[in-house]
Amino acid sequence: MTKKLLAALLFMVVLAAPAWPVNRQILALQQQVSLLMSEMQNLQQTFTASLASMKTLIGQNADNLNKLELALNTLQHSVDRADANNGQNWQQANQQFQALSQSLSDLQARLNKANEALQQIQQAQQNLPAPQTTPAATGNNGAAGGGGTAANGSPVLPAAQLYQNAVSDYVAGSYPLAASEFHQFLKAYASDGHAPEAAYYLGDIQMKERHYKAAVQTFDSVLNNFPDQKVAAGAQLKKAYSLIALRERSAGIRELRNLIHHFPHTQEADQARQELQALGVSAR
């Protein structure tokens, strides 16, 4: 009995002995689970807090982006407006520059024409004789210091004043007025000392205005009435030019050769030789 009891007790001890270690493992597992749950809660709280912070940052960044976009749009509008204004200002400046350039070109053309006219006058004056005192005259030539009368009996200015007015208008390029004054001078003062120059200037005006036939007649009158005057060489040269302009080549060449023959050592003779060379003919 005792043995049976001891055996039973021993059996119960054997059966009960393994339960303790199992309970300790369960407890340890439960503690780990509890610790893990606590850490997960902490992690959840941290994640929730981080998510809230990120949402706040994202919202702030979105606001900043909107503000930046608005600022860029404003800047772009300002740049576009500035470009438009600059374009308009540039166009206005360009128009003003073009107008100024055109004005300068016109002024330069006028100056060139004035210089050309002045050179022609200077060249013509070099070929003219020294000024002579207008002799006192009566009748159509007028008294000294007084006026005369034209062929139709109308009064005219004194010879010196009328001649000077005509020359001044010629130099200024007022050719129609100068031609009228030279005509009037030659009619009223045909024997005046300035008559050769007046006739020469009149023919030169007619040639400049391309009235070549009238110019030929006027230069003929100079050569016929004043063959020994200094203007004769210039008159014959320009008569030749006028004939060539009228396509009367042979007559023009003949005048150029006559000029070289009668006035061989003059500047006009040199010009005649150059013209004959340009025409492809000899000076003889």
pLDDT in tens, 92-139: 777 776 766 676 666 666 666 665 655 555 555 554 544 333 333 333
The CA-atom distances, in angstroms, between 207 and each of 41, 113, 184, 272 are 118, 16, 19, 17
> Is 199 a residue whose pLDDT tops 90?
yes
First to last CA, the chain: 184
Predicted confidence (pLDDT) at residue 51 exceeds the cutoff of 90 = no
Distance separating alpha carbons of residues 137 and 52, to the nearest angstrom: 125
The answer to whether 140 and 195 have CB atoms below 8 angstroms apart is no
Summary mean pLDDT of the chain: 75
Nearest to 182 by CA among 163, 210, 169: 163
- Angle among Cα 100, 106, 110 to the nearest 5 degrees reads 140
Crossing angle of helices 267-279/249-262, nearest 10°?
A: 150
Lowest mean pLDDT, pick from 101-115, 145-159, 182-196, 259-273: 145-159
Q: How many residues does the chain have?
A: 284
Are the beta carbons of 202 and 218 closer than 8 angstroms?
yes
CB atoms near residue 215 (< 10 Å): 26
The number of angstroms, rounded, from the C-alpha of 261 to the middle of its chain's C-alpha atoms is 50
Chain centre distance of CA 52: 70
**Strand ranges, E, within 23-91:** none
Tokens representing residue 72 in the block: 């860029």
- Full-prediction pTM beyond 0.85? no
The whole-angstrom separation of Cα 146 and Cα 159 is 8
User: Tokens 């210089």 identify what position?
Assistant: 115
Structural fold of domain 114-279: 1.25.40
Is 189 within 8 Å of 224 (Cβ atoms)? no
Judged against a pLDDT cut of 80, whether residue 213 lies above it is answered with yes
Asked whether 196 and 226 are in contact (CB, 8 A), the reply is yes
